[in-house]
Amino acid sequence: MANIKSQKKRALTNAKKNLQNTADRSRLKTSIKKVNTLIEAGNKEEAQKAYNECSSLLDRARSHNLKHRNYVSREKSRLAKAIAKMA
């Protein structure tokens, strides 16, 4: 542990942020899995709703520097393409 007061505060802040980032990444992965599951099940309406939510979470992950912009773009494209292929 640091001896300097500001560094002690910074260590606490970093720990809080780490927890929040971990939760955000987990929520994002769960959302992507949900869309993929609905696509495999063939439920286009529900998949579209889940995709809209997932897209929002991907954008949030990008704006908070959790994921790279190319990753976000690629995932959104893959999911949209898979939904569009559904009959």
Could you write out the three-class secondary structure of the chain? CCCCHHHHHHHHHHHHHHHHHHHHHHHHHHHHHHHHHHHHHCCHHHHHHHHHHHHHHHHHHHHCCCCCHHHHHHHHHHHHHHHHHCC
Residue 2 pLDDT:
86
Residue 58 pLDDT:
98
**Residue ranges of domains in the chain:** 5-85
The domain 5-85 having CATH identifier 3.30.470.10: the answer here is: no
pLDDT in tens, 47-63: 999 999 999 999 999 99
Query: How far apart, in whole angstroms, are the C-alpha atoms of residue 25 and residue 29?
Result: 6
Is residue 45 scored above 90 in pLDDT? yes
Q: What percent of the chain has pLDDT over 70?
A: 99
Is residue 1 scored above 80 in pLDDT? no
pLDDT in tens, 20-41: 999 999 999 999 999 999 999 9
pTM: 0.88
